Structure 1
Amino acid sequence: MLQNYEYFLMLAETKNISKAAEKLYVSHQCLSRYLKNLEDECGLMLFQRKPTLELTYAGTVLADSMREIQRIEQDTRRKLTDLKDGSTGEVRLGVTEGRLRIFLPGLIKAYQEMFPGVMLRAVSAPTKELLELLVDNKLDLVLGSPTDRVIHNLEYLTIMEEDLYLVVSDSLLQQYFPDSYPECKEKFFKGADIRLFQNVPFCAATKGYNSRSIIDEFLQTTNTTIRIIYEANQPDLLHLMTAHDYAASFSLSMYLPHIHSLNQSLAEGHKLNVFPIKGLSRKNPIFLIYRKGTYLPNYTKALIGLIQRQCTAYQEPLDQLL
């Protein structure tokens, strides 16, 4: 039953015999015969055939067990490699798209200097999709934000708690606060009252993203509305639009160095200002997530430590990040 379990897991993933056979480099006939023999051995139907290939309840139970077998096999290989020399291997890291561009360049350089024989592979996707890949043994670690679903066989290690800031250019401040600019900047650095920005155009993350959820909840609590004229899923893109004086935006802590970098190329009178939001106390926790009970080689533990140190730098006081 457990021979070639990867065949069954590929069928469960693709829900298509032809696609699964192609990915496994076997014939359609071979894979069909494998499935029939497995169902005969179990004495149960593992897939519904029509209208599409779908796992039955028995198939789901078997798939969960086979994923656990796959995890044990992967762990065993890591342990043996660790016992052999501890200097070669692979770590598969999942990071959300925006953070990947900000976070990965510095991380991968530092990690390769520590473990030149270990391949660090990074994948980007929304956190929910990354967690699915983690559960399916296709990732080792996920760096992500909270989701509406807690998976109980995963370990959540909090590595930082981000603040949300208001980002606005000098040009927009001068346009919308003509009577108090530039003196208003000193006031806003102590905490910008979002109610004063109701006429200012904003670009913001799409609904459902954490930064958007934080600001939407805060606006509802304070009975305030703002004028959002553009939405996108890439925080660095939103900050670029703010740098072009198109609209104000918001930034979580990890993206502040990117704003600092943008400011190096902006002319005086168009630079970006980052203000704490008065009355906003909600934090955005960032987790390192891995499967409970999974063996972590020394090089994976070292990567976790490196990520923790890198994230600690993003929690410096605002004036030190900019």
Structure 2
Amino acid sequence: MNFLNLEYFVVLSEEMNFSKAAARLYISQQSLSAHIHKLEHEFGLPLFDRGIPLQLTEAGTYFLESAKVILDEKANLEKHLSDLRDFQCGDLTIGIPSSRSAVVLPQLVINFQKQFPQVNIHLVEGDSNEITQALYDKRTDITIGFELNDPERLASERLYLETTQIVVPNQILEQYFKTRAPLLQGKALPLHIFGDCPFVGINKDTWLGNVLYGACRKEGFHPNIVMETKNTISMLSLCCGGAGICICPSSFLSARWSPLSRQLLSSATTFPLLYEEGQSWITLSHLKDRYLSLAARAFTKIAKQFYAPNETDSSAEA
């Protein structure tokens, strides 16, 4: 048995299709079939039922669990040995929600690459649920995102406390309140004050969507959603363009390297949202049972140092 055979077996068990698995591995179907036959010959048992659809046999199901453990241990060993040799030539895979990467990563990556220019950084992006799953699937070394309540499996470092702002286009302030500053800026406000105004919504399955609709339920009104998006940057762009009010994480508004122009952001007025659930820690997490490379440790240290002065500051530059 060799590791290559195990890797090919795991990929085929994930795809359950010789053609798709071979394409994913950049080999021919004949070559893939030969590797699987070698494993089956070695153990004297069929690992796949080659009917339609392709299925794992009982032996194959058991073998898959063990194969994943063996390959995980191999990956841990390789990272450990690479660190002992020269971790500065390694790889680091970071999971982060797509929208948040635009405001969190630039300065962290720049600081890291100045110190460790030979480490290759790879990103796994998606929504928060996808990033969390990637962490548990061991497809990332570390993830940056909302705090997860799983102390038995995860080790986490708090970076900064995310809070929520009500973002109101200036033209909507003028239309509904006859002024651009009807309320005291800097004072937390309940959302129902803007209950008659149009809103740009965000998917209910996201943390921000839960905050929006949770605040509305608590205050007893239904927001007038004129359009909805899954992306925070898109939502904020539509809002600042005048489409409607939105609620937005404070870090997206305060970061110097925000992907939105200062001119666009200046076309709206912001007010802190008066809603306790509208805040959450942003953390850097990794699996406790997986070897944390020196590159990952170095990145974690840089992130903690970068955010240390702002740990209790809701306007942290994130």
TM-score (norm 1): 0.84
Deviates more, 1:237-246 or 1:135-144: 135-144
> How far did 1:252 drift?
1.2
Q: Deviations over 1:243-296 (max 9, x none)?
A: 2111111111331225996563249xx622221122434423333232222222
Which letter does structure 2 place at the counterpart of 1:308? K
Q: Which residue in the other structure is 2:174 paired with?
A: 174
d(CA) in 1 for partners of 2:290, 2:22: 29
Pick aligned residue for 1:237 from 227, 234, 257: 234
Q: Which residue in the other structure is 1:307 paired with?
A: 303
5 Å-filtered alignment, 1:211-290, equals 211-257=208-254, 262=260, 264-266=262-264, 271-290=267-286
> How far did 1:111 drift?
1.0
> How far did 1:319 drift?
6.7
Which letter does structure 1 place at the counterpart of 2:203? T
Which letter does structure 1 place at the counterpart of 2:161? E
> How far did 1:216 drift?
1.3
Indicate the RMSD between aligned Cα atoms, in angstroms. Answer: 3.0
Q: Which residue in the other structure is 1:95 paired with?
A: 96
Asked whether the equivalents of residues 253 and 315 of structure 1 are also in contact (C-alpha less than 8 Å), the reply is no
Q: Deviations over 1:2-27 (max 9, x none)?
A: 54210111112222111212332433
Which letter does structure 2 place at the counterpart of 1:285? W
Deviates more, 1:68-77 or 1:34-43: 34-43
Which letter does structure 2 place at the counterpart of 1:184? P
Q: Which residue in the other structure is 1:185 paired with?
A: 183
> How far did 1:143 drift?
1.6
> How far did 1:303 drift?
0.5
Q: Which runs of 5+ in 1 are unaligned?
A: none
Deviates more, 1:305-314 or 1:196-205: 305-314
d(CA) in 1 for partners of 2:62, 2:197: 54
1:291–1:168 Cα change, 3 Å: same
Q: Which residue in the other structure is 1:116 paired with?
A: 117
1:184–1:236 Cα change, 3 Å: same
Secondary structure of the residue aligned to 1:184 is coil
Secondary structure of the residue aligned to 2:87 is coil
d(CA) in 1 for partners of 2:309, 2:111: 15
Deviates more, 1:282-291 or 1:2-11: 282-291
d(CA) in 2 for partners of 1:211, 1:311: 22
d(CA) in 2 for partners of 1:133, 1:266: 34
> How far did 1:81 drift?
1.8
Q: Which residue in the other structure is 1:20 paired with?
A: 21
Asked whether the equivalents of residues 203 and 209 of structure 2 are also in contact (C-alpha less than 8 Å), the reply is yes
Secondary structure of the residue aligned to 1:85 is helix
TM-score (norm 2): 0.85
Q: Could you tell me the percent identity over the aligned residues?
A: 26
Deviates more, 1:77-86 or 1:44-53: 44-53
Q: Which residue in the other structure is 2:162 paired with?
A: 162
Asked whether the equivalents of residues 166 and 251 of structure 1 are also in contact (C-alpha less than 8 Å), the reply is yes
Which letter does structure 2 place at the counterpart of 1:17? F
Secondary structure of the residue aligned to 2:88 is coil
